[in-house]
Chains A and B, each alone.
Chain A
């Protein structure tokens, strides 16, 4: 194959089955080494994103140790993958001091990416993207010039309004809305482009499945505001990469920006 060239901005690499969000782990024949193999067969690629835990979904109260453990796993995977993986890490509004210390720690190590943050998976409870507790953490993120990737496919108008408030408040912070989502959320994303010049979206999961969506998003936001993402291992990156590469309404120049130039720019990395 070796057909593609991209940075998959939205993945959740795994070390164990608990971290692996694929619903058919056995059928997909998954392992740490096979992750890299899948991507290498597709072409010249890198991946980004946070490590998740399925067992945390059932825990009523996430502890900071749970969060830090996943961040440390991400660092471990970064070492294992030797340049292939750009880790994203978690923060949590119930643990402000700890989150800020984590940002400082990881910034010293040259890390830039927070997220993908998934509030529903980490029992944020009543706290949300517009909570003052979370804003305290984002102030630190802004200070350290982080990139914040966050889950946006929340089927709730109030939550979508909270996202708008957050990105309007922090205009100097680079935000990446994770997932295009169903049509009504895509329309919200299109409005967000005008709320913050540093707001981008990644095309993982639902949304790119619709004919004409990518064209529409680029027409409104511009080619520099859209990032390639697949949500691997929930999805196969080849299907999402093909969706962009074979889309006859997208120019080759736009594809390059979506596939890797935008990720290179905001993360300060190079695919080469």
Chain B
């Protein structure tokens, strides 16, 4: 079996059960160490992504410190993984000043990825991707040359707000996470057309629809799609297999999706 060089752009590494989003974590052997060995055996050289926790949305009131705690865990994991993990961090439209300060802090620490932002998990109640509060934050993100990866599945109104955001920020690198279902696909096509700096990370939902990625790649080329698995919620062995055994894709296309596109955005030398 051919092994590909892989950067998994979309993961959610964890420090403990609170931040481990695998629904089967009680049933299988999971730890920080095992995560790395499991992924590297599949050819994954680096992982990216934010630390998340479904539990934080239970907090009442919802405070900025809950978001900041997750960001600090991401930095801790960067230290632990020694080059294997490229952290992503959260911002929140309910905390504009704090989010802007966080971008400045992270930029000083060499962290360039915002996200995956997961709005339903982070209690964005009353906000969406077209909220002026988020746009204030994104102006700063753009200034610092950040990459913003965001969960792209939502209802029609939510997805339309993402379309507006992509149109508003053509210079900002925006990555829509998940190809998703039929209605998501329509919106991705709109965004890919409206901004050359819009990408799709192919983690989780939508990739399983046979021919869907081919459909997108035929229209937008091989450089707009980035490999992700959504580990540990998703089965990394399935997502690594997505292009590997599919003769619809050339070897070159596989290399771009698995590695080169992420490497280019993240400035990782080959």
| Cβ B1 vs Cβ A235 within 8 A | no
Of B142-150, B202-210, B253-261, the one touching chain A: B202-210
Q: Which of A129-188 contact B (CB under 8 A)?
A: 183
Q: How far is the CA of A3 from the CA of B2 in the complex (A)?
A: 10
**Quick check: is A216 within 8 A (CB to CB) of the other chain?**
yes
**Quick check: is B109 within 8 A (CB to CB) of the other chain?**
no
Q: How far is the CA of A27 from the CA of B215 in the complex (A)?
A: 5
B246 cross-chain contacts in A, Cβ below 8 A:
236, 238-239
Interface of A is mostly: loop
CB distance from A151 to the nearest CB of B (A): 17
Of A48-56, A74-82, A245-253, A258-266, the one touching chain B: A245-253
Of A102-110, A117-125, A204-212, the one touching chain B: A204-212
Size bracket, chain B contacts: 35 or more
CB distance from A88 to the nearest CB of B (A): 20
Q: How far is the CA of A183 from the CA of B234 in the complex (A)?
A: 12
| Cβ B242 vs Cβ A213 within 8 A | no
User: Which of A29, A183, A215, A242 contacts B241 (CB under 8 A)?
Assistant: A242
A249 cross-chain contacts in B, Cβ below 8 A:
28-29
Q: Which of B211-270 contact A (CB under 8 A)?
A: 211-212, 214-215, 218, 231-242, 244-248
A216 cross-chain contacts in B, Cβ below 8 A:
24, 27-28
**Quick check: is A232 within 8 A (CB to CB) of the other chain?**
yes
Q: How far is the CA of A211 from the CA of B231 in the complex (A)?
A: 7
A195 cross-chain contacts in B, Cβ below 8 A:
none
Count of residues in A whose CB is under 8 Å from the partner chain: 43
A210 cross-chain contacts in B, Cβ below 8 A:
22-24, 233-235
CB distance from B229 to the nearest CB of A (A): 9
Q: Which of A223-271 contact B (CB under 8 A)?
A: 232-236, 238-249
A233 cross-chain contacts in B, Cβ below 8 A:
210
Given known A3-B1, A233-B210, A236-B210, contact A246–B237 (CB-CB < 8 A): yes
| Cβ A211 vs Cβ B245 within 8 A | no
Chain B residue with minimal CB distance to A183?
B23
Q: How far is the CA of A27 from the CA of B219 in the complex (A)?
A: 11
Q: How far is the CA of A3 from the CA of B211 in the complex (A)?
A: 21
**Quick check: is B157 within 8 A (CB to CB) of the other chain?**
no
| Cβ A212 vs Cβ B211 within 8 A | no
A38 cross-chain contacts in B, Cβ below 8 A:
247
B186 cross-chain contacts in A, Cβ below 8 A:
none
User: Which of A3, A212, A232, A235 contacts B22 (CB under 8 A)?
Assistant: A212
CB distance from A25 to the nearest CB of B (A): 7
Q: How far is the CA of A29 from the CA of B249 in the complex (A)?
A: 12
| Cβ B211 vs Cβ A22 within 8 A | yes
Chain B residue with minimal CB distance to A182?
B23
Q: How far is the CA of A234 from the CA of B210 in the complex (A)?
A: 6
**Quick check: is B25 within 8 A (CB to CB) of the other chain?**
yes
| Cβ A212 vs Cβ B27 within 8 A | yes
Q: How far is the CA of A183 from the CA of B232 in the complex (A)?
A: 15
| Cβ A242 vs Cβ B27 within 8 A | no
| Cβ B234 vs Cβ A238 within 8 A | no
Interface readout for A20-43 with B: 1 if CB under 8 Å, 0 if not?
001111111110000000100110
Q: How far is the CA of A215 from the CA of B38 in the complex (A)?
A: 15
**Quick check: is B182 within 8 A (CB to CB) of the other chain?**
yes
| Cβ A211 vs Cβ B211 within 8 A | no
Given known A210-B235, A246-B42, contact A241–B241 (CB-CB < 8 A): yes
- In the A-B complex, the 6 residue pairs with the closest CB atoms: A242-B241, A238-B245, A24-B211, A212-B24, A28-B211, A243-B238
Known interface pairs A209-B235, A242-B237, A243-B235; 14 further A-B residue pairs with C-beta atoms within 8 A, sorted by A's residue number: A1-B245, A1-B247, A24-B210, A26-B211, A27-B215, A210-B233, A211-B234, A212-B25, A215-B27, A216-B27, A219-B27, A242-B240, A243-B237, A247-B235
20 A-B pairs (CB sep. < 8 Å): A1-B245, A3-B245, A23-B212, A24-B215, A28-B210, A30-B211, A208-B238, A209-B234, A210-B235, A211-B22, A211-B24, A212-B25, A216-B27, A236-B242, A238-B246, A242-B237, A242-B241, A245-B237, A246-B42, A246-B241
